[in-house]
Structure 1
């Protein structure tokens, strides 16, 4: 038997399940990007609010391109189990906030109507960095236009992706989709809608057969949509809402509401995400499958510790960065999080520009060392060969995979030319960094070490220097 509304009552009593009515009320949140992260993060926050008796936080979840996931969740009435596991133990929870589902590519009109529904108060997004396209801007604009035409109030539209200033970027994307005759709509948006910036943080690996088997054992039911995550979570959101009373509600559920999202945002992007990318590339090249496999190695753990402390932290405004670093090291080593290095390395060309160059340029401006980032960049160049140090091929799952592999192919025969070619790309490094000869020289040096001696030896050499 599958997990669904009819079987919910049969679950063991130690599993937290929804006790609120999931059928009586219309969803108040439309979420675009119905992946694992949202379901183990914001959906659990909204589940908490629903459990307090506030019925306005049910979710209409939109799969952007994946009908298979939407069909799985529909078959289970939007229910799924989440394993929350860390050093304090393991517990299972079935959040109940996901009430309806659609697929954007095949049910676009339903998505527009959902955004314009009278009960809708929020639209949230986790579409990843590459999802911020003109088509997304047009979809949101169409939903907002219909709200305005129907005489409905404005809503909060919250990006929850790893983009700096994500609320500003999202608003600009929506306005860019507007035509000249949309002046009245834009004035309505400015007056009634809110696009807060936010930072979200929780490690949620893609589901594995091990998680599905563990869920089946814990639930006594089959659950094809189960997930595993850590105990830690953080959601920092700008105090900018269409309904100002939402601030206190979110705070009651553990969300940090502040005017200063930026300091948390940059720390997360450069410390957690920047380290994640570095380790994922190292793991892919050395053949280590998971982040926990990488951080378990003393030399990689020391590399990450020093990368964050010596080259990232000096350019952060988050004052408790040292405590944050300690927590990150522990989180990376969580044995329950089988976080695939190839999953994290996905779309590296979209992620690196956000995560590494700001710290490197900060170090250069201060005349300080960039060695850890230079080695990480060298490993990225090596990664474009698409074959690990044991001779096993892997796929580059990246929008720029073809051009990256074409440029990287020459590194065996013309390594310096290859490094210079990849470091000259402004889509990866911005316009300033490719102009710094000292940076190019250090990446070239570490690339030579990686090619000649391997990633582990190069990391060892750096931390022993």
Structure 2
């Protein structure tokens, strides 16, 4: 089967309503965006927003997709002229869109000079990033600063540097990191970055499961072409950006294609981290322990849906400021239930030791400081401890992908069957839970209770007890 590329796509004879193709001349598109972190999420989110701008006749928004280390995807997409197809699942059914905004790809570890040159190119206007919070280190900042220094030396304008990672105050944190690195090299450079470049905080949201062979097969059936970059996602997407751009006119441009440009991203960011991401992590851990494959399999169970609804309604929402929280909650539950997404629980459970401090702790601390109970999160914490045994309730083993996996599994297994000892050991991991929670008696007592119940009756029966307690 021929591969998807510019030439073969031109031979795609039938254009059913369920397929959208680029309606613009790709040879007229300029690379205006350098994106760091060429993964599935970017290609199903920001790249599709930039594709909308290109569809609207604005050729400045082509993308250079930069993989940070891995070469396989970048090289595969280069052979496809940057083209790939996204299967979008909505209540109305499935729709395919071929995305044309990706003009070129490269790998930062292999071609750092190409990245720096792109950052310093006159046509470049933005940098976007989806490298995850694990990637915000000196090496990333040095790469950005090197490119910005070249721009300054060439007498060019600054850039909008838009972090799109699940990290609170992501733009502000990236700016501080870059300014610290720049100041060590040249205080004038740091001043130029501070005054001429913009680092807006942003919140992005779209459920994008990891790409599998199924998407490649489905794309082949839809197009008769082999697409190594095929993806699946949901119809919903959201991008909330702080109104802070190197070119202020970009605010109106982004609003025109559905981006929500606001003065303060924080209320949207907090709601997403605590409601969507926090619930996702809890469901993923529960699903891994109980042995269901996807989030949709879990939400289809009334007890799981009731638990997630209660977690968001009783514990999370009272401490948030996002508009229309009940509607946002109901939309999340509908999105979780979308069976077409096949969002694997083990994918979502990845890096839980990094996610729990961001997704659970703010809600937990708010509730404890207000003197309120924390039963749903106490149960979730107990499920995380059971998850660390790396075997489900049918005695099937699974791998744990986490930077602290070995140490955490050692602790969990050393105290296996001892709920109190397990809780004391695992809540004592300060990098996850902080210093204070181990000494919060109400919290440790409830986590211990739920871990003991999970050990005694199983996660499903314990979940019924949690839900019953929430009703009283």
| Fold-level similarity (TM above 0.5) | yes
Q: Distance in 2 between matches of 1:241 and 1:101?
A: 25
CA-to-aligned-CA distance 1:300-319 (integer Å, 9 cap, x gap): 10000000000000110113
What whole-Å deviation, never above 9, does each CA across 1:114-165 have from its counterpart, x for those lacking one? Answer: 1111111000000112111221111111111111111111000000011111
Q: C-alpha distance in 2, partners of 1:175/1:393?
A: 46
2:116 maps to what in 1? Answer: 112
Name the Cα RMSD after superposition: 1.2
User: What does residue 279 of structure 1 align with?
Assistant: 283
Structure 1: how far apart are the matches of 2:325 and 2:431? Answer: 29
Which range moves more in the overlay, 140-149 or 412-421? Answer: 412-421
SS in 1 for 2:31: coil
**Corresponding residue for residue 199 of structure 1:** 203
Partner residue in 2 for 1:161: 165
Do residues 72 (structure 1) and 50 (structure 2) align?
Answer: no
1:60-459, aligned counterparts within 5 Å?
Answer: 60-459=64-463
Gap regions ≥5 residues in structure 1 = none
Do the aligned partners of 1:128 and 1:161 also contact (CA within 8 Å) in 2?
yes
Q: What is the CA distance between 1:22 and its match in structure 2?
A: 2.0
Alpha-carbon deviations, 1:284-328, whole Å to 9, x = none? 111111011111111010000000000000110113110001000
Supply the distance in 2 between the matched residues of 1:137 and 1:404 (Cα, whole angstroms): 30
| Structure 1 pair 181–81 and aligned structure 2 pair: CA distance change class (3 A) | closer
Q: Which residue of 2 aligns with 1:58?
A: 62
- Note the C-alpha offset of 1:175: 2.0
| Change in 2 beyond 3 A, CA 1:4/1:181 | closer
In structure 1, the partner of 2:11 is: 10
Kept in 2: contact 1:198–1:237 (CA 8 A): yes
Q: Is the 8 A contact 1:3 1:80 kept in 2?
A: yes
The CA distance in 1 between the partners of 2:114 and 2:124, in whole Å, is 13
Separation in structure 1 between the aligned mates of residue 182 and residue 247 of structure 2, nearest angstrom: 24
Secondary structure of the 1:82 match is strand
Question: What do the CA deviations read for 1:10-38 (whole angstroms, capped 9, x no partner)?
Answer: 33313211122223443000000111111
Shift of residue 181, structure 1, vs aligned partner: 4.1
Native 8 Å contact 2:183 2:190 kept in 1: no
Secondary structure of 2:411's counterpart equals helix
Query: What TM-score, normalized by structure 1, do the two folds share?
Result: 0.98
For structure 1, which segment, 429-438 or 97-106, has the greater mean C-alpha deviation from structure 2 after superposition?
A: 429-438
* Contact 1:129 1:351 survives alignment (8 Å): no
Structure-2 separation of matches of 1:319 and 1:47: 29
SS in 1 for 2:280: helix
- 209-218 or 253-262, larger mean C-alpha shift: 209-218
Structure 1 residue matching 2:403: 3-state secondary structure = coil
Moved more, 351-360 or 128-137: 128-137
- Structure 1 residues 39, 181: CA separation in 2 closer, same or farther (over 3 Å shift)? closer
Aligned-partner Cα distance in 1 for 2:287–2:147: 42
Q: Please say which of residues 423-432 and 333-342 is displaced more in the overlay.
A: 423-432
Q: Which runs of 5 or more residues in structure 2 are unaligned?
A: none
Deviation digits for residues 419-440 of structure 1, max 9, x if unmatched?
Answer: 1121122211233433311111
In structure 2, relative to structure 1, the CA distance for the partners of 1:200 and 1:119 (3 Å cut) is same
* Alpha-carbon shift at residue 413 of structure 1 (Å): 4.5
- Secondary structure of 1:99's counterpart equals strand
